[in-house]
Amino acid sequence: MDGARACFHRHGFHAAGTADIAAAAKVSVANLYQYFSSKDELIIAIAEEDLNADLALLGTIKSAGSIEKAMELAVEAITREASDPSVSRLRLEVSTEATRNPGVADVVLRAEHMQRAALEEWIRQSQAKGELAADLDPELSAFALLCLIDGAFARVATGVLQPGSAARDLMCAIRALFRI
């Protein structure tokens, strides 16, 4: 998977051939096909891996104990991911691929539903503890938060924002959104 990610980062999903992917992964093309029946299946696996990582981060944030600790964990994770341009670019590539590839679109749509549900629950829990304003709409706030994060990563991927400033600006925007 790491070899495929590196190859996709360099060439994009469509320009990367299976021979390129196999070479980057240091396996034969035949060996690659033992794990993935097609390049599309490999792209879907990468999207699934990202979804699982995002859900794990949300689980960590939800169990942080306080809104301040959750924000601290989020800043660390976002800074870490944003500091690697290949992560931002590949996330943008996955989003774009979802417009063409039904398998990737399915993963992206599932990710959206799962992430929104987890964030809505976290917002409600934070409201119940008095850490977030009671008048925040959890559904709209979760949607806005995901849009902010995706937008920040897209801006890092295209070079509009530098990774360090993206994380800092994103956290300022999140604090403004949640009035904390």
Query: What are the pLDDT digits (tens) for 88-147?
Result: 888 888 988 999 999 999 999 999 999 999 999 999 999 999 999 999 999 999 999 999
> Where in the chain is CATH 1.10.357.10?
44-178
Q: Rounded to whole angstroms, how far apart are CA atoms 158 and 135?
A: 35
User: Which CATH number is correct for 44-178, 1.10.3720.10, 2.60.40.10, 1.10.357.10, 3.40.50.300?
Assistant: 1.10.357.10
Q: Average pLDDT of the chain?
A: 87
Domain with CATH 1.10.10 in the chain: 1-37
pLDDT of residue 175: 85
- CATH match of 1-37 with 1.10.10: yes
CA dist 22 → 2, 4, 33, 147 (Å): 11, 8, 9, 34
The residue-averaged pLDDT of 47-76 equals 85
pLDDT at 2 over 90: no
Q: What is the DSSP-derived secondary structure letter of residue 148?
A: H
Return the closest-CA partner of residue 124 out of 102, 140, 103, 112: 140
- State the pLDDT at residue 100: 92
